[in-house]
Amino acid sequence: IELDKALERLINELEANGKLDNTVIVLLADHYPYGLKQENIETLVGHPLDSVELHHSNLIIWNSEIRTQKIEKPCMSIDVIPTVYNLFGLDYDSRLFMGKDIFSTTEGLVIINDRSWVTSKGTYYASTGNFIPKNEDIDQNYIKNTNQIVNNRLNISKKIIESDYYRILKK
C-alpha cells in the first residue's frame, strides 16, 4: 500500500512539473521477502512454493507513453540492464553482460544460485537432477546443453568478480 501511495505521489509530482513523459520507472524485487517464513509467503501467494518458484517476482518498466505488454518469458534481474539499454537505444557491448534483452527472441533463462534453472520449456532442479517439462517431453541434450550454459555463466561471473575485470576493462 505504501509503495502504491509513493508511486502515485511520484507520478503526480512528475506530471505537475512536466517531466512525466520523459521518465521511465523500473520496478523489480531483487529477492523474495527474506523476513517472512515460507509458509507466510505461501499464504500471500495462495499456493505452496518449491525452492525455485520461491524466487518468482515481477518486473515493471513503465512510461506514460508506452503501450502495455505482458512478457511471459522467464527472465531475471541480470536481464534488466540490457533490456533498458535497448529500449533507450544505447550503444553497449552485449558480451559484457550475462543477461539478455527481455524483448529479444533469445530463450529466457533464469538461474538460481544452486544451479537450478527455468526456461520456457521447464524447470531443472539441480539438487535432484530432475527436469520438470512445462508442456512437452524434452530431449536430454537440451538439459545437458542448458546445464552447460548455466555452468559457463556462473563460472564467468565468478571470474569477472575475482579478477575485477570491469576495472581492468575500464583502463
Tens digit of pLDDT for each residue in 14-66?
999 999 999 999 999 877 888 889 899 999 889 999 888 888 888 999 998 88
- Residue 103 is predicted with a pLDDT of 92
Q: For residue 53, how many other CB atoms are within 10 A of its CB? A: 14
Going by pLDDT thresholds of 50, 70 and 90, the confidence category of residue 101 is: very high
Model confidence at 132, pLDDT cuts 50, 70, 90, reads very high
With 90 as the cut, is the pLDDT of residue 95 above it? Answer: no
- Following DSSP, what letter does each residue of 136-163 receive, concatenated? S---HHHHHHHHHHHHHHHHHHHHHHHH
Query: Which residues touch 164 (CB under 8 Å, ≥6 apart)?
Result: none
Supply the pTM of this predicted model. Answer: 0.82
What is the rounded average pLDDT for all residues in the chain? 91
- The candidate with the shortest Cα–Cα distance to 121, out of 53, 154, 73, is 73
